Amino acid sequence: MKSFQGERVPSLAVAPGGAAGDRGLAVVDRAAGKVLSAKRWAQLLEASARLDDDDGAIITLPDGSEHAADDPGVHAALSAWLDHDVHLDAPPTHTVFPMEMHTGMSDEETPLFDWPGPPGTWLDLADAHWLTTASLAAAAELHPHGVWDVRRFRPTALIDGPTPGWAEDAWTTIALGDVHSEVLLPTPRCSMPSRAQPGLERDLTIGTTISDRHGNNLGVYASIVRAGTLHIGDEVHAR
């Protein structure tokens, strides 16, 4: 579910077009022709979603109520929660619904602009987002009072490695188990890492630290060139 809380899983199928089950649905303002994102709608991070035994999506709202994604009443429940007329939709196939972002990316005081994202998906830009524990540690040294929890940054996979510093900045290809990928660009950070979510307080300095001290980038975006399934503990080979 786009912009809802992330989830740690023991294995994950990844292919061109993204990870299985990742952002297959999103909250959409059909009248405005826009998809809602926590970049603009911070409260989305207060909700969560999971797949049931039949791979149907179950949404849990902040009040604890659960709603099946295919329940006709889910749209009214989401609209009441957000106080905004919205619909739960799969990605459109013949058009693009942009999301609103701040022109200053991590600066929430700057004006908004529309980011269209790739057609046919609710992804922001790329198939995968890789992040290393080394980069998280390097960022934490710059703002040691912050909580640099991986949940703030929402990578497809968190890579544990011994290399200190901003390890992935120099990588061009990354193989995780049998999944092979090519790096497209560093991951530009938006307002989301500074947002509050269950267990994490709002911290604007998270965003300004990345912006001021590391070019507003943390992690890398990549395209998948060989599909496969990621598992916790897979070996990683980067070049």
The CATH number that applies at residue 172 is 2.40.33
Tell me if 175 is assigned to some domain.
Answer: yes
Cα distance between residue 235 and residue 96, in whole Å = 37
65-94: pLDDT as tens digits? 999 999 999 999 999 999 999 999 999 988
Tell me if 5 is assigned to some domain.
Answer: no
- Domain holding 211, by residue range, is 11-238
DSSP state of 191: S
Cα distance between residue 168 and residue 217, in whole Å = 11
Tell me if 218 is assigned to some domain.
Answer: yes
Per-residue model confidence (pLDDT) at position 162? 76
What is the count of structural domains for the chain? 1
Cα distance between residue 199 and residue 182, in whole Å = 33
Q: Confidence band (pLDDT; 50, 70, 90) for 105?
A: confident
Tell me if 214 is assigned to some domain.
Answer: yes
Tell me if 124 is assigned to some domain.
Answer: yes
Per-residue model confidence (pLDDT) at position 109? 86
Cα distance between residue 24 and residue 90, in whole Å = 6
Tell me if 4 is assigned to some domain.
Answer: no
Per-residue model confidence (pLDDT) at position 230? 97
Tell me if 3 is assigned to some domain.
Answer: no
Q: What is the mean pLDDT of the chain?
A: 95
Tell me if 6 is assigned to some domain.
Answer: no
Instruction: Count CB-CB contacts under 10 A for residue 184.
Output: 14
DSSP H helices, 57-153, are 74-82, 133-142
